[in-house]
Structure 1
C-alpha cells in the first residue's frame, strides 16, 4: 500500500460534504409530512395519503442517511473495525428501497380497492396541501441533487424526493379534476400512477445496494480489463487472485497477487501497478501482494 496511505479520508466524502443540506431537507420534509398526513385523513384522499407516505420514507431515509454519516465519522475510533462503518451507508440505501417499495405496494392495493367504490374527497383542502408539499419537495430536490451523483446513500434520499415531487404534482392534478369535473376516480388513478412510477426506480436503487453488499465487481469496472492492465505493467509476469469490489459510494477497491518477471524490482513494479489502478480505473485503495518469479502461484488458490 505504501507509507502513509489512509483510505478513511477518501470514503463517503460526498456524504459528509452534503450533511448540512441533508439536515435542512430533513427538517423541511418532517414538517410537511405531518401536514400532509393530517390533511389526507381530513380530506379522505388516497393520493394525498400516498404522497404523505412517500414523504414519510423521505424523512426516514434522510434520517438513516444522517445516522450513517455520523457513524462513519466515529468509526475510526474502534481498531476492530478495520474498514470502519462505511457499509452503513449502503445498508441505509437498501432499507430505503425496501421501505419505499412497501409503501408503494400498499397504495396500489388500496387504490384497486377504491376503484369499486371511490369515496368523496375534499378537493379544495387537498389542492392547497398538495401545492405546499410540491414547494417543499422542490426545495429538498435542490438540496440533494448534487450529492446524489456521488453517494448511494444520498441517491436513495434523492430518489424518494423525486418520487414525492412527482406525487405532489399528481395530487394537484387529481384535486383539479375532482373540483372541476367531480370525477372521484382521479384520486385512486393518481395514487396508482405514483406507485407505478416509483417502484422501478426503487428496485434499481435496491439492486445497486445489494451488488455492493455481496461484493460484486462494480458494473463500470470490467475485471478482465483490470487484469489485463495489471498484466501489462512492466515487470509483471502473471496476475492471479484478483478481486475488485465497492466498499461504499465513491470507493472501489482491489486486491491481487502479482508474480514478478525475471529480476524486476519490487518497489518499481508495486508503484507502477498502483499507479495503473489509480489512473485508469480510479481505484485509490489496492492491496497488492508481490511474489517472486521463481514461485508462480505459490500462494495457492482460494477455496471460499
Structure 2
C-alpha cells in the first residue's frame, strides 16, 4: 500500500464563481423589485392597464428569478468542496441562469396571451394612476440596472457569471416593459390611442422572448457538456501533435464552470514521456482547470 503523502498530486474541485459583491447587490435589487411589484399589480388591477399589469407580472417572475440567483450563489458556496459533486458546483450558477431564462420565457408568453386578449376586448384605463406607478417602476428598474451593471460588466470579459447576467437581463426586461407601458399610457391619454397599451404588451413580449432565447443559448450548451469550440480544440490537438510523433486518438473537453474546462485526452506515441511533459505542452491553455491525460505506446513498426 502506498504510504507516502499524495497531497502534491491532489487539487481542489472548487470551480464555482465567487462574486460576493454581485450577490449582495442582487439582494438589494430583489427587495426593491418586490416592493414595486406589489404596487404595480395593485395599481394595474385598479386602473385596468394591461401594460402596467404586464410590468407587475414581469416583476413577480423577476423576484422569483432573483431568489433563484441568490439560492444558486448560496448553494454553490455551501457545497463547493462536497465530494458528492464530481467536478464541484461550478455549474450551479449556470443552472441558475438557465432557470431564469425559462422564467423570462414564461413571462413573455403570459404577456402575449393577456395583451392579445386586451386587444380583442379593450378595457377602460385610469391613465393618471397607471402612469404614476409605471414611472416609479421605471425608476426602480434603472436603479437595479445600475446596481447590477457594474458587477456584470466587471465579470463579463474574464469571469462570465451567467447567474448575475441572468439577473441583469431580468432588470433590463423590467425597465423595457415599464418604458413601453409609459409610452402606451401617454399615447392613450393625450391621443386617444388606447389600443397602443396592449400592443406595447405584445412588443415587450417579443423582445423579452429574444432575450430569453439568447440566455438559453449561453447556458444550455454548458449544462449539456458541449465540447469546446472547434478552433480551440484544434489548437490543443496541434500543441500535442507538434511534439515528437504524438497523435491524439481521443479528446473530450467540456465546461465545468463559467470559465473552467475539464479535459480527457488520449495520446498515442512510439516513445512515451512522463505525464508532466504533456501537461507542460498544454500549459498555455489556462482554461483547462481539470486535465486527465492517457498515454499509449504505439506497438506498430
Counterpart among 7, 12, 15 of residue 17 in structure 2: 12
Residue aligning to 1:130: 134
Shift of 1:162: 0.8
TM-score normalised over the length of structure 1: 0.86
The secondary structure found in structure 2 opposite 1:286 is strand
- Counterpart Cα distance in 1 of 2:230 and 2:71: 28
Distance 1:265 1:248, change over 3 A: closer
- 2:91–2:256 CA contact under 8 A, matched in 1: yes
Residue aligning to 1:30: 34
Please report the RMSD computed on the Cα atoms of aligned residues, expressed in angstroms: 2.3
Shift of 1:251: 2.0
Residue aligning to 1:155: 165
- Counterpart Cα distance in 2 of 1:216 and 1:262: 32
Residue aligning to 1:276: 284
Residue aligning to 1:191: 201
- 2:101–2:216 CA contact under 8 A, matched in 1: yes
The secondary structure found in structure 2 opposite 1:120 is coil
Shift of 1:17: 4.2
Shift of 1:220: 8.0
Distance 1:143 1:260, change over 3 A: farther
The secondary structure found in structure 2 opposite 1:153 is helix
Structure 1's unaligned 5+ residue stretches are: 297-304
- What do the CA deviations read for 1:21-62 (whole angstroms, capped 9, x no partner)? 111111111111111111111111111111112212221111
Q: How does 1:1-304 map to 2 (within 5 A)?
A: 3=9, 5-8=11-14, 10-13=15-18, 15-148=19-152, 149=156, 150-219=160-229, 222-232=232-242, 234-235=243-244, 237-260=246-269, 262=271, 264-273=273-282, 275-278=283-286, 283-294=287-298
Structure 2's unaligned 5+ residue stretches are: 1-6
TM-score normalised over the length of structure 2: 0.87
- Counterpart Cα distance in 2 of 1:197 and 1:2: 52
Shift of 1:241: 2.1
Shift of 1:292: 4.3
- Counterpart Cα distance in 2 of 1:71 and 1:128: 39
The secondary structure found in structure 1 opposite 2:256 is strand
Shift of 1:254: 2.0
- What do the CA deviations read for 1:271-302 (whole angstroms, capped 9, x no partner)? 232x1322xxxx14132324143459xxxxxx
- 2:108–2:209 CA contact under 8 A, matched in 1: yes
Distance 1:164 1:277, change over 3 A: same
- What do the CA deviations read for 1:84-115 (whole angstroms, capped 9, x no partner)? 33333222222222222122112212222222
